[in-house]
Amino acid sequence: MPEWLQLLPQVIFETIILAVLLVGLVSLIVPVFPGLTIMWFLGILPYTIVRAIQGNMTGWEWFAFVFTTLLMIGGNIVDNLIIAKKVRENNTPWSSILIAFAAGIVVSVFFTPLVGLIAAPLGLFLAELGRLKDRDEALQSTKAYMIGWGWAFGARFLIGITMIGSWMLWAWL
């Protein structure tokens, strides 16, 4: 059998993993969707398990796995901190922030993540409108949320790109 044909299953597997990582990267646009976790759980972890079963994991590969795992954990923490910090700068209470996060998660689960993209700021706006009884102040809190979401998306996206780049070095070197 030609060598290229023997390598075909590995190439197909790596192409699937890369596709999963890229889909996870695109999903990062939705603030409550755990895109970094999806990238790790459906891309990095299966790749690691297969490599370990094959007995091919080197010290460098274990380092790359731990590095991408730490990126995923750190990215999830940073994501929420950036949004919450920006909204808290506007003196929005934690209760309204939690309502926004819950609205985004619940709506994303029962409908689609894109609808969840609308539900989170809408949940914050309604919570703040009910608390403050002032539409303009509620809009200010919502604006702060959206600015925080923009910064958090930027951080998540850079972390996601770093995860993909690390995996590509790992898989193809």
Range of the domain at 100: 3-172
Q: Rounded to whole angstroms, how far apart are CA atoms 133 and 35?
A: 35
pLDDT at 29: 77
pLDDT at 1: 55
Least confident of 1-10, 45-54, 61-70: 1-10
Q: Rounded to whole angstroms, how far apart are CA atoms 35 and 29?
A: 9
pLDDT at 5: 57
Position with higher pLDDT, 113 vs 142: 142
Number of domains in the chain: 1
What number is the average pLDDT over the span 67-95? 91
Sign of the torsion formed by the C-alpha atoms of 172, 40, 65 and 72:
positive
Residues 147-170: pLDDT tens digits? 998 999 999 999 999 999 999 999
pLDDT band of residue 17 (cuts 50, 70, 90) is very high
Whether the pTM exceeds 0.85: the reply is no
pLDDT band of residue 104 (cuts 50, 70, 90) is confident
DSSP 30-94: STTS-HHHHHIIIIIHHHHHHHHHHT---HHHHHHHHHHHHHHHHHHHHHHHHHHHHHHTTT--H
Q: How many helices (H) and strands (E) does the chain have?
A: 7, 0
